[in-house]
Amino acid sequence: SAEGNINLETLKERIYAALGFIQIYMKPQGAPPDMHNPLVLRRYSTVADACAAIHRDFLAKFRYAQIWGRSVKYAGQRVGLTHVLAAGDIVSIVLRR
């Protein structure tokens, strides 16, 4: 009930899941991941989608990404632009100079 603030968090979580969003966390090179400000993308988004959401130059300068999470076989695995991300993944993007 909205009047009694009962189950509002559950409702928010269900709406979020029904819309098909995932949260990924960015990790700058040589720094810990930013677990407080997730990047919100649609389910089945790729590394290319994440790059485009951050900055338009990232796609042109992309070299590889390192992923920690459920979408890879081992932590820190190098992947390309077509890799499909999973909810909760930590992503570090490496660019060309």
Task: Identify the CATH number of the domain in which residue 76 sits.
Answer: 3.10.20.30
Burial of 66 (0-12, 13-18, 19+ CB in 10 A): middle
Query: Is the residue at 28 inside a domain?
Result: yes
Query: Is the residue at 3 inside a domain?
Result: no
Query: Is the residue at 64 inside a domain?
Result: yes
Between 8 and 20, the more confident residue is 20
Angle at 24 between CA 89 and CA 90, to 5 degrees: 40
Entry pTM: 0.86
Residue 66 is part of which domain span? Answer: 8-95
Residue 70 has pLDDT above 90, yes or no: yes
Query: Is the residue at 40 inside a domain?
Result: yes
Query: Is the residue at 58 inside a domain?
Result: yes
77: tokens are 């695995």
Angle at 47 between CA 58 and CA 16, to 5 degrees: 115
Number of structural domains in the chain = 1
